[in-house]
Each structure stands twice: as C-alpha cells, then as structure tokens.
Amino acid sequence: MGDRYIIDTQCPRCAHVDEDVYYAPTCGFTEHTCSSCGEIIDLATYTGVSAEDASNRDEIACVIKEHGGEG
C-alpha cells in the first residue's frame, strides 16, 4: 500500500479550485477532472510527486515543506 494525498488543485485552463482531491500515485489515482470545465489534470505533473517518489516519505515531506505546506 502506497502513500495517499488529499490536495487542492487549481485548473490550468479555467483557474477553478477543487478542494480535497485524492491523489494516490502508487494505487493508480493519478488524474483529476476539473469539476468546472472538465480539464484532465495529471496530478504527478501538477504536484511534482511521481509514483516512484511516493515510496519515499522523507522526500515527500521535504517537497511539501518547500511548497509552503506542513511537512
């Protein structure tokens, strides 16, 4: 079982923000569809966290902290 994340996303097409988006790269939950315009957002690209990265908890905490989150 891999890591799972709950994130907020801002659509690159329409700028709509969807809150509490589920991202679990090692379980295949890797895309989100904007609830406003239907744009498909690749969450690995959006977050910078790949399935390979998700298996290293310390690296992920560092990435989150670098982007202003709590790590």
Question: Model confidence over 25-45: pLDDT tens digits?
Answer: 888 899 999 999 999 999 999
pLDDT at 19 > cutoff 80: yes
Residue 57 has what pLDDT?
64
Encoding tokens for residue 7?
């994130």
Q: Percent of the chain, pLDDT > 70?
A: 85
Coil, strand or helix: which one is 28?
coil
Asked if 44 and 27 touch (Cβ cutoff 8 Å), the reply is no
CA pair distance 24, 43, nearest whole angstrom: 9
Q: Where are the domains of the chain?
A: 5-66
Higher pLDDT, 55 or 19: 19
